[in-house]
Structure 1
Amino acid sequence: MELDVYLYRGHLGQTVIPVPLALAEAFNLDGKAILTAQVAANELAGRLGAAITSELLHGHQRSYLQRFAAAICAAKLPSLNQECFAEALAIAMTQPKYPLHVGEFSSDTKVLSAASSVVEGTRSAFLASEGMTGTRNILEHQGGFYRQFTLHRNTPQPFLQLGEAWVTETLAFKRYSACAYAQGAIDCIRVLSHENTFEISEIKKIEIFTMITALVMEHLAIPHKAYLHQ
């Protein structure tokens, strides 16, 4: 879950890697088909994530991006026609999850934010291929996704400059299986352990400079830490 790749404003690694690989194996498709599905999902779901900037969900809580990306991957493998593709996305975004903060930091339940969303998004494409239809304006409808999931009242059109500006270029890779906010701290510990020779008893004080988001994450994780010492 944590050893993932992510885009600017979106964790999609749990979808764009396993879904294309699994479907390509099932339908006997080649690497080009896999890469095409991955890029399509990154570009469309990545743009949606960038457009939703004023909201209460953060990081992996934004599991609606997993649903959206999974539907895109599954619609491309095998390639559905334009009508079915649109229906797959509409179906996927009809019932997005709303994970709660207290279950998303440190506890085991964080993994579920991606697990069920990936399945539901993939299923949406299969349902569309069988003729099921959704609400095509599910994102921008006055009672739709934007209205329910963002504090903005006028969300900008996210799907612009396709083929010109590439969200894929914002891909980042984690070196360690931990939240992105913790990557710098882990690097620091590794450097200290390899480049310094001192005894623990010699340490008198430790000063830590970090980002506010890391402090918030630590605060939310405190209730779960108690179980680690039982």
Structure 2
Amino acid sequence: MNATGTAGRGQDPGASLTRRLAEWAASLRHPDLPERIEEYATSQVMSHLAVVRSSLGHPLGRKLVRAFGTPLAHDPCRAAQVMAALSSCLYYEDSMYAGHVTHASVGVPLAFRRDQRLDGRALLTAVVAANECAARVTAAGVLGPLRGQGTSYTQLMGAVAARLHGAGAPAELWTDAWGLALAMPPWPLRRALLGSEAKVLSAATPVRTALDACDAAAAGLRGADDILEHPGGLLAKFSHVPSPEAVTAGLGTRWHTETLTFKIHPAGAYVDGAVDCAAQLHARLSREDIRDIEEIVVSAARLTIAMDQEGAPYINRERSAIMALNVSVAYNVATALTTGSVVPADLAEPATADPLRWSLADRVRLEYDAGLSREVLRATAPLGEALRQAGEGGRQWLADFMGEGAAAAADVGGPPSATFQEADKAVGARLRVTLRDGRVVTASCRRPRGAAGPETRDTHRELVRDKLALSGTSAEVMDGLERLASLDARQVDALVSRALSEPLPTSESPPTFDPLLESGLPHGA
């Protein structure tokens, strides 16, 4: 089957969704990738390595290394598990329509690069195949109770696809592995994600489950091939308004990979617009002005306010769990006003104990903005395309979520997109800062830096190079990563190993792994 064809070409229309998706993805080859898709995938790999490096330099990342080892572990399953934990711990990972797919779709091929002898083209093709499988199933269930990092089945789909594509496995094995991996998907508890450090396992646990499912399928265990669409299957249980047709819509023409949003700040996606506004005002205000702020009003979309409210009960200044800080509009706006940005170091002491930031955070007030909410819903991500895909069911879901009046004013009608070449994500914000002397300064942002849209299509490589540089990556490694598609397997292995082992900005070298901890034995046992 030619991967650039439609979902139905060469396929049995009566086959299950996982069978049809597996047949397409297993046959995907590098020549099938449009140049722009290869470029996106290259930037995605670069950005992912920047995220892992940033986490290695953070106190939470060092705990993960003590628990699970480094991402250079000899066992690729272990390496994939720890890489997923590291890439999810700071809310710094990229996302797409739909889902935070990179923990599996990038982390697994990187972890298996040596065992599978992946050259640059094979690695990038595995990334794209996994992106497409994970994002499509996530999009099919996005109008449901789980969001973002908590959507465990995103990683279950992506990790199976990434590993089996790299292994050249037949479609039959994919179908069984997915059936096994999706049999008991984790359902995370918001209290744990927002109020503890358990969130760092939100991607690592399903990635390991998926890799175990691959081993089980290879040994002959069979999974349910209708695990997605069956009345007792995943979409029925994990979505209020399932859209099973999204799983195979436009295979090879409707590339979810080009809906990528590249994260610039380690903060919740719905906070990024407010952070960009605060960074604008930092450049216009003196240190004395910032201390003299009387009030900060953030005009935001309903999704931004809802996310902030979810995290608010778990904010306890420097004792706050990282995800509570990630989703706090007040903390991130105060940080960007004070420093001009939000970076990984802002999620640890001494930054989180800075009294000026918390004093400013106490002066932040959120206001609902109907216009910004409409912009969010018209864009491809995070919900607009899902609402259009769901049709009448999507309109009813929106009315239940926002109320009949707000839903009617949202104007999200129309057919699903035939392609994602014009995809966008517009979670904007406006800031109004009042100083004690009566001055008022304002800033606005319709689309945050790095969000899917025309600016990011033109500049994503520049953005990810900056992100790598911030993590302490050398120019030589960055240049090598940009040439990833031209590298042989030996060069890929050496380059990725170097990218993960170069000195970090906060320490002389990445943290080491104590082998005694691997077996759970105490020192001296």
Compute the TM-score of the two structures, normalised by the length of structure 1: 0.92
Contact 2:97 2:139 in 1 (8 A): yes
Superimposed CA distance per residue, residues 19-77 of structure 1 (whole angstroms, 9 cap, x where no aligned partner): 10111122222111111111111111111111113211111111111111001111112
Equivalent residue number for residue 221 of structure 1: 311
Q: Which runs of 4+ in 1 moved over 4 A?
A: none
Equivalent residue number for residue 199 of structure 1: 289
The structure having more radius of gyration, on CA atoms, is: 2
Equivalent residue number for residue 10 of structure 1: 99
Q: CA deviation at 1:227?
A: 6.0
Where 1:10 maps in the other structure, the secondary structure is coil
Where 1:209 maps in the other structure, the secondary structure is strand
Compute the TM-score of the two structures, normalised by the length of structure 2: 0.42
Greater mean alpha carbon deviation, residues 149-158 or residues 105-114: 149-158
Contact 2:97 2:256 in 1 (8 A): yes
Equivalent residue number for residue 70 of structure 1: 159
In 1, Cα distance between equivalents of 2:92 and 2:295: 31
Identity of aligned residues (%): 33
Q: CA deviation at 1:175?
A: 0.2
Letter in 1 for 2:262: F
Letter in 2 for 1:192: L
The reply on whether 1:86 has 2:175 as its aligned counterpart is: yes
The reply on whether 1:110 has 2:110 as its aligned counterpart is: no
In 2, Cα distance between equivalents of 1:218 and 1:36: 37
Superimposed CA distance per residue, residues 162-200 of structure 1 (whole angstroms, 9 cap, x where no aligned partner): 111111110110101111111122222222222322524
The reply on whether 1:139 has 2:238 as its aligned counterpart is: no
Cα distance change, pair 52–171 in 1 and its aligned pair in 2 (3 A) = same
Equivalent residue number for residue 97 of structure 1: 186
Letter in 2 for 1:186: V
In 2, Cα distance between equivalents of 1:201 and 1:104: 33
Q: CA deviation at 1:106?
A: 5.8
Contact 1:102 1:220 in 2 (8 A): no
Cα distance change, pair 89–193 in 1 and its aligned pair in 2 (3 A) = same
The reply on whether 1:59 has 2:148 as its aligned counterpart is: yes
In 2, Cα distance between equivalents of 1:28 and 1:169: 27
The reply on whether 1:208 has 2:208 as its aligned counterpart is: no
Q: CA deviation at 1:150?
A: 1.4
Paired residues, number? 230
Unmatched 5+ stretches in structure 1? none
Structure 1 vs Structure 2 CA RMSD: 1.9
2:276 to 187, 196, 199: 187
Where 1:206 maps in the other structure, the secondary structure is strand
Where 1:104 maps in the other structure, the secondary structure is helix
Contact 2:140 2:235 in 1 (8 A): no
Greater mean alpha carbon deviation, residues 183-192 or residues 173-182: 183-192
Contact 1:66 1:114 in 2 (8 A): yes
Contact 2:138 2:153 in 1 (8 A): no
Where 1:208 maps in the other structure, the secondary structure is strand
Unmatched 5+ stretches in structure 2? 1-87, 321-525
Cα distance change, pair 88–206 in 1 and its aligned pair in 2 (3 A) = same
Higher RCO (Cα < 8 Å, 6 or more apart): 1
